[in-house]
């Protein structure tokens, strides 16, 4: 009897975890399309195929659900780019920077509705949620600061450029991409190749590092 009860509890826990995940995925999809102000629990429930009141079993409020989504989305980008860079730990600074650009664009444009929702709604979030998201963004920004600084330290950055400004402009341009990109505009591979070419052509010292 004890064993059967334990298995039942385990199965119930797994089902609960799946339902919670389905609600989060639905919230990410709705949030990416409709924004913070336009994302209603009824819309999320419809996509998740649950009753709207059931969401409160898994999340205290609409805001707590949205926060869970945007925080995961921000972390997704960090984790993905860190994994890309870990595989290129011995590569030159330019290769690492361009690989990070590709990694960010892939996860933002095609890999994760969570990251898309996070990027699109960063400026719409309540102050408390935005402050916690900002803490995660600072960690992600640190990765990009180190990448650009490595290029500069190798003498490959154009002398007239400010590394901090370059870092912010790269991230800003990439985070704007979800607002205009779609497969009908250009294939994803073309967007990635274009971004790499723009960064390489605009940042690198023509005599030492442009490739």
- What stretches in the chain show pLDDT beneath 50? 1-4, 209-211
Question: Can you give the pTM of this predicted structure?
Answer: 0.81
Instruction: Give the chain as a 3 state SS string.
Output: CHHHHHHHHHHHHHHHHHHHHHHHHHHHHHHHHHHHHHCCHHHHHHHHCCCHHHHHHHCCCHHHHHHHHHHHHHHHHHHHHHHHHHCCCCCCHHHHHHHHHHHHHHHHHHHCHHHHHHHHHHHHCCHHHHHHHHHHHHHHHHHHHHHHHHHHHCCCECCCCCHHHHHHHHHHHHHHHHHHCCCCCCCHHHHHHHHHHHHHHHHECCCCCCC
Q: What pLDDT is stored for residue 210 in this prediction?
A: 45
pLDDT at residue 122, as a whole number: 83
Q: Which domains does the chain have, with CATH numbers?
A: 2-203 (1.10.357.10)
């Amino acid at each position: 009897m004890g064993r059967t009860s334990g298995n039942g509890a385990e199965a119930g826990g797994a089902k609960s975890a799946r339902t919670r995940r389905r609600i989060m995925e639905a919230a990410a999809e709705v949030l990416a399309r409709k924004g913070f102000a336009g994302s209603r629990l009824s819309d999320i429930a419809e996509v998740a195929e649950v009753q709207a009141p059931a969401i409160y079993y898994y999340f205290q409020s609409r805001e707590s659900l949205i926060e869970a989504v945007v925080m995961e989305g921000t972390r997704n980008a960090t984790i993905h780019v860190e994994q890309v860079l870990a595989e290129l730990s011995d590569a030159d600074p330019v290769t690492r920077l361009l690989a990070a650009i590709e990694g960010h664009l892939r996860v933002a444009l095609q890999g994760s509705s969570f990251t898309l929702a996070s990027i699109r709604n960063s400026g719409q979030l309540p102050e408390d949620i935005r402050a916690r998201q900002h803490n995660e963004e600072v960690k992600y920004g640190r990765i990009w600061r180190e990448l650009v600084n490595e290029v500069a330290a190798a003498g490959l950055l154009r002398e007239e450029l400010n590394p901090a400004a370059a870092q912010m402009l790269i991230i800003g341009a990439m985070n704007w991409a979800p607002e205009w990109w779609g497969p009908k505009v250009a294939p994803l591979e073309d967007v990635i190749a274009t971004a790499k070419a723009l960064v390489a052509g605009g940042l690198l010292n023509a005599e030492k590092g442009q490739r």
